[in-house]
Amino acid sequence: MLDNQLKKAINEQINKEFYSSYLYLAMAAHFDAKALPGFAHWMKVQAAEEWGHGMKFYHYLTEVGAEVELAAIACPPLKFGSPKEIFEQVYEHEQSVTASINAIYDLAKKVNDPKTELMLHWFINEQVEEEKNDRDILDQLEMSGGTTFGLMFLDHNVLGKRKED
């Protein structure tokens, strides 16, 4: 039996992961509209990955016999700034996701639920990777100086070549 607080927190995390998917899809649409297909591709892959994260939490709840309680997903912004500003927003967003997952982990420890702690290890490791990827892209955007050539290089040779997991 899953602790009620833990069940509530995991259900909320499902919503956060699905919101992340919508957010990145909205960013992909922005990049598509700005003729940056590589940036858009990166965001579409990220959106699919975030949806998958939500589903991992969903499946965990069903595996332990807990109820999945889906809530409305907030609408993401409709307008975005420059590529650098967008990746700053992505990095901040992923830091908030990390904090949320860490809070669930702390709760699992508090209520002595080792199975949930173990499940969360995958997400903790994933967040290390997510934040590193975002920092790397921000560093590359900084190095490009926001030049057209730098953006096009990143678009075609880096972000556009991201493989789907």
pLDDT per position as a tens digit, 124-153? 999 999 999 999 999 999 999 889 999 999
Superfamily of domain 4-161: Ferritin, core subunit, four-helix bundle (1.20.1260.10)
Task: Indicate the domain borders of the chain.
Answer: 4-161
Closest Cα to residue 162, out of 142, 144, 136, 125? Answer: 136
What gap in Å lies between CA 123 and CA 57, rounded to an integer? 10
**pLDDT given for residue 22 in this prediction:** 98
The structure's pTM equals 0.95
Angle between helices 4-33 and 83-110 (to 10 degrees): 170
- Phi-psi category of 17—alpha, beta or left, where left has phi over 0 and alpha has psi -120 to 50? alpha
Cα dihedral across residues 85, 146, 136, 122: positive or negative: positive
**pLDDT given for residue 146 in this prediction:** 82
Residue 12 CA, distance from chain mean position: 14
Cα dihedral across residues 22, 24, 26, 32: positive or negative: negative
pLDDT per position as a tens digit, 18-62? 999 999 999 999 999 999 999 999 999 999 999 999 999 999 999
**pLDDT given for residue 16 in this prediction:** 98
Residue whose token pair is 């965001």: 43
Average pLDDT for the chain: 96
**pLDDT given for residue 164 in this prediction:** 84
